[in-house]
Structure 1
Amino acid sequence: MWVSRCTTYSHKDQTTLSKDKMSPQRCSVILLLLTTHSVYCSKPRLEIIPADGKINLGGSQYFLCKANFETTLKWLISDDEEISDEEDRYKVETIDETTQSLTVTASKVEDDYIIKCQAAESSSQEATYVEVKISIIQKPKFVEDVETRKEFTAQTTAQLPCAVEGIPRPEVTWFRNGVAVTKQPGRLSVGKDGTLTIDKIQLSDAGMYFCQALISDRKETDYKNVSVTVNAAPVVHFQNPLLNVTSKSNASFTCLVTGHPQPQITWKKGEEPVTLDGQKYILSSNRLELSITEVETSDEGEYTCHAMNSFGEHNTTLSLQVINPPKSVGAGLIAGIVLLIILGTLLAVDLNCYRTRQRGFFMYFTTNVLGKPAPRVKLEETDIKKETTSHVVNISGIDA
């Protein structure tokens, strides 16, 4: 009996498909039923295709309730009330004795609800139900166009709006230069409407921001970029405001500047502009570094770096002192002094040797080079007397 019903169903479905004009969506669902029909002929079966009831807001979904036995089919909503045609919401169609379709249009936001398909073979048989949960969903969508460029003045409060909608409500995250913005109480915050607030915005807060709207369970996301520019008056300073430089050496000092738009830089020595001749005074291409070659005493003084843009101006001063190094003792003079010390030491030693009739360099020089006799030592008178006293020694045994 079930095989007969299946064959009859296939024939009827094919006839219906050939005569009726159906949407591609309907045809694909019915073709799927035809392909898998033989599997369901083995036992009574009732199902809704597709089983997923998610519908995008403003869109529609086509459902089929299919039984593999002849029965009476009805579509019911959550309170078992039979669904009938309703403009911009429901459209019911009977395909044949075992198939009925329902088109649901999500024209407005609604809470999730259940739709049932009821089947019964006869009035005495207990009804069989299958159901699908209808959920109205919406992809993340920006309610208002986010400006692509925003300008703020430093130390003011900046707000970057990010109004988005979606079902369920998307999670909003702000990024700056590709890194998630970390909330800082009293400084950075994100409101419930997605607006990023920056209190007392600074030059360092400038950059490329983007707002990301994410529905994580469906992995749906959208984002908008906004370039943030912060304008500020210049602030200048020297890392070392006092510079000591040795005479005849080269000196350079850098003026550290912040501000936007890019400040214009000028240099002064005292009250006069620095004469930039490209040889004595040289300025870098960005005008932030001043170099002085072969510094002289006349280069001493105060050097001022002045910065100015449309939001203000600022300057700072550096004091340059030139140090004249003490004259150094030449290497030749040092060698001469050392030689004299060595010769003096040798002379003193030789004189002492000469006086004591000990052979030394001085004695050798006078006797062998100059040909002078070796000096004799003058003896004291008592010593002479002692030396003239003769003594006779009897070595033969005869008295003298």
Structure 2
Amino acid sequence: MTDLCTTILLTLALLHVSVAQEPSLELLPSNILKPLGDGVYISCTANVDDPGLVTEMTWTGPNGERIPNADGTINTLEGIGGPGKLDLMIQNLREQDTGIYNCTATYAGNQKLSAGLAVEAYMDIHFGDTPVHQTPFINTEYKIRCTPVAKPAPQVDWLKDLVPLKNNENYIIQQDGVLIKRVTEADEGIYRCRARVPELGSIEYRDIQVEVFIPPRIENPPKDTKGVEKDSVTFHCGAIGKPAPSYSWVNKDNEPLKEKEDYFIDSDKGILTIMALRPEHSGVYRCTAKNPAGEDHASAQLQVLTKPKVEQYLNITNAVDDEAEMRCIATGDPLP
């Protein structure tokens, strides 16, 4: 009985020695899932009887790239924890840094050791340059843009004024937005672009205010006007549109009047006032109503009336009982 116990104990001891002496490399952690932009640290430790016999310890990255890499963003950390240990550090995890990393070494001159792990990355949902205020023009085709980005790729759905939006004859939901085939005023509202990543348990949304722009239409055009020399006259030009249009005026020579002497323009109300009228002010004046969706034009004629002016009146001398003609020459518009 004693011999049997001794044999069992010796067998267990030999088995323990055999297991303990089997060289290997241990990686910590065993797998990595980190957000893009984070730093990554992996330790590679040789589990051997004599760490001093470990040589040629190296790291390789995805596609067999040797570490440190060419641009210096992935490096090894030597001398931390003594021989038989080589750690890896990724300073700023990028998409191209993901993949399989392998730690390799040689033990006792001839025994090759290797261990690998996958470095995976995720990116929280963000909406990039998605505009929160979008302005389609009426009666045009327009895409409400929304470009959520995440890793893994997000699933996207849409709501309009909190009501789920579905494909129909006027709305087509696409990868990067909602296409409106023909914009009407009824398409105004708050559109919610909602992104989900089930693998991360993430959901985010971006509300987009859609305001339909309508080009101006002049409903109250300026009227032909007569004015007296040295007096002033006013033209009125009124248009509807969305947003409210601004107004500009030009004269018969197509010259802008905003900065010209004798002219005053109210760009918000469409009013043109011409002061100290002179004959050369006569002619056609054109109003332009403009907003981001378009513009409209209307014209009116100005006639400057000049007061009568006696240009020539001559005194004459004549005999009694003779006929005499006295002439008075005057100018004016209209002729006096």
Alignment TM class, shorter chain as reference: 0.3 to 0.5
Higher helix share: 1
Higher strand share: 2
Higher RCO structure, 1 or 2 (CA under 8 Å, sep 6+):
2
TM-score (normalised: structure 2):
0.47
Larger Rg: 1
